[in-house]
Each structure stands twice: as C-alpha cells, then as structure tokens.
Amino acid sequence: MKILWKILPPLLLGVTVFAHAESDASLSAPFPIPAKRKAREYRADTTGLYPLWENTGHVESAGDVRISTTGVQMGMPGVHIGALPLPFFYRTPNAYLKGSLFSSNRAALALQVGFFHLLPSASRSAFSPMYPTRLDNSDFSLTVIPMHLAFSWTLSQWLEWHHTLGAVVNLPSGNITGDFTPGYLSGLELNPLGNHALVLHLGKVGFERHEFFLAGASYRFRNSWLEARFGYFYRFRAEGAQAGPLASLGFLL
C-alpha cells in the first residue's frame, strides 16, 4: 500500500502530462472557446484554495496583479512572485516564487517554491480560540518550505484537472525535528472557463509516513475583476477527522 502511494501521485501526474501532450498533438486546434470567455477576460486560477498543499499550473501573465486572500501576486515574464496575506496577521511572514515550465492553450505546468516562517506563538494568534490546532509553537519559531509541481489540464470547456505534487520541508526548531513530507492533491474544476465553477478536491499528505487524506468541495465565482471562493474541507488522520470551511476573496488587477 505504501509503495502504491509512493508511485501513484507522480505516475498520475506523468500520465496526465503525457495524455495531454498526445491529445494536443492529435488536435489541429484547441476546442473553441466562446468569444465572451476569452482567456484574458476570465483569468485562469493561479492559486489553490486549500493552503500549503494546493496549486495550479497557471502563472500570472507579465503585468497582471492579483490581490487575493489566497495570494497577493505580481506577474512577470514567465514567473510571478507572491505571498499569502492573511498569515502575516497571524505572525507568519511568507513568500513564494512560481515559474511556468510549460504552457499551452489547454495545459500548463509550473513549479512553485516558497517559505512560511512561523514566529513564536503563530499557532495561537487566531482571533478566536474555537478552532484547535495540532501545532503549538508558543516558545519556538518554525520555518516551513513548501514546494509544488503543479499541472493544470483543460480537458474540455467544462472540465479542468489540477494536479499538485508537493512537498513540505521543516527546518529543525525547538522540539521539532527536520522533516521532508511529500503530498499530492488533485482538483477537478467543473466549468473552469465560466463565471461559476465547482471544484472537487482530493489528496493525500505523507506517502511513506501517512499524515492525512484531504477531501473537500468548493464553489468559485469569477468575473473580469473579482474572484470569490467558498468551500468545506475534511482532513482524515489516524486519530480522527477535522473539518471546516474555507473562504477567499480576490481582486484581479
């Protein structure tokens, strides 16, 4: 079973990329996109909704700016830089750089590397104590380095499949040992080119040493300048399930 989890996510990602390449080669032209849904009018999702583990293969175009709770980002040729804004209010400065490895009308592959620096007591800095956290870093800081290889494949006008093969590296701190934890998250986006979309999220974090399975669903509204998302996510660990809503709001400049 563990072997399966070691090979399945990269296999899935590889097969998808290969399948896309084959299908792209066999098509003389991409499927028609209705005029009012021009790519420029509705910019592609360049962030995942679920933090730390979810991403997409899209990168901001040069000069595009996205101010969203899932990422404040500035596009430059082939890359964008960004940061999650809300964690700054929770004693967690962070930043990331995302570069496009490949992009076509129907697919995009990108690599993102970033960091989160959890200052002492970041885990306790929520406004409300109603939601419990596994981590309590009241007397030590922790640096977390997430890396994502993300691929987004638009299979049809009504379906886009996002894959994120990720890993999180913890630098040793306090009682915490250094760790490397891989994970894979898949997002099936229904009606990706339209205003309204439904996204189904499924993933697993920790292959050899299981951390959690993730399952969730979210709704996304988008127009030429606004992006809003709302979803509900479950994490299934050996000790039980934790669940909660997630919301985001963004402006596309």
Partner 1 sequence: MRRFLFLLALVGLAGCDWGHFHLMNSVPFHGDPAKNPVVAVYLGVDGLSHNTILDIQKRGAFTGEGWNLAKFHTMFPGTSDASWSRILHTDPIPGYEFEHYDPVRDQIENSGLLGYLCHAMPNLGSGLHFDPPYYNAFDYRSNGYTHTVGAYADTHSNYSESLDNLFTVLEGRAETQTEFTAYMLELDVMGHMKSRQEIADGMVRLWQRIQRFKERHPERKFVFTLFSDHGMDFIPVVRQGLVRFPEEMKKVGVEPVESLGGLDAKRGAYALTINHTRVTYLELHTDPRLTETVANLVSGIGPVDVALSRIAPPDGEPSGNGVQWFALWERNKASGTFAFDPANDRYYVSKDFPFRRFGITDPIPVREWISDEVAFQGTRHALYPDLFYRVRTALEPISVKYPAQVVVSLKGGFASVGKELPGGASDMAMSAFHGALDAPGTVGTLLTEERPLPDAVRSDNVLDLFPRLRKHLERRGVRLNPGDKNAPLNY
Query: How many C-beta atoms lie closer than 10 Å to residue 182's C-beta?
Result: 20
* Footprint (CB under 8 A) of partner 1, residues 163-182: 168, 170, 174-177, 179, 181
Shortest distance in whole angstroms from residue 154 CB to partner 1: 27
CA distance 17 to 185: 15
Q: For residue 1, state whether it binds partner 1 (rule: CB under 8 A).
A: no
From the list 12-20, 26-34, 129-137, 149-157, the region that binds partner 1 by CB under 8 A is 129-137
Q: Which residues pair with 166 in a beta bridge?
A: 148, 183
Q: For residue 93, state whether it binds partner 1 (rule: CB under 8 A).
A: no
| CB closer to partner 1, 107 vs 205 | 205
* Footprint (CB under 8 A) of partner 1, residues 13-72: 50-53, 69
Phi, psi of 21 (to 5 degrees): -60, -45
Shortest distance in whole angstroms from residue 49 CB to partner 1: 10
Query: How many C-beta atoms lie closer than 10 Å to residue 188's C-beta?
Result: 16
From the list 55-63, 83-91, 104-112, 148-156, the region that binds partner 1 by CB under 8 A is 83-91
**HSE (side-chain half, CA atoms, 13 Å) at 170:** 13
| CB closer to partner 1, 18 vs 180 | 180
Selected binder of partner 1 within 211, 222, 227, 252 (CB under 8 A) = 211
Shortest distance in whole angstroms from residue 125 CB to partner 1: 8
Q: Which residues pair with 222 in a beta bridge?
A: 227
Q: For residue 125, state whether it binds partner 1 (rule: CB under 8 A).
A: yes
Shortest distance in whole angstroms from residue 103 CB to partner 1: 28
CA distance 189 to 36: 19
* Footprint (CB under 8 A) of partner 1, residues 216-235: 233, 235
> For residue 167, is it left (φ>0), alpha (ψ between -120 and 50) or beta?
beta
Q: For residue 143, state whether it binds partner 1 (rule: CB under 8 A).
A: no
Q: For residue 113, state whether it binds partner 1 (rule: CB under 8 A).
A: no
Buried b vs exposed e over 2-32: b needs ≥16 C-beta within 10 Å?
eeeeeeebeebbeebbeebeeeeeeeeeeee
Shortest distance in whole angstroms from residue 15 CB to partner 1: 26
CA distance 177 to 247: 32
Q: Of 48, 43, 47, 49, which is closest to residue 61 (Cα–Cα)?
A: 43
> By the criterion CB under 8 A, which residues form the site for partner 1?
50-53, 69, 86-87, 89-90, 92, 116, 118, 122-123, 125-138, 140, 142, 144, 168, 170, 174-177, 179, 181, 205-206, 211-212, 233, 235, 237-249
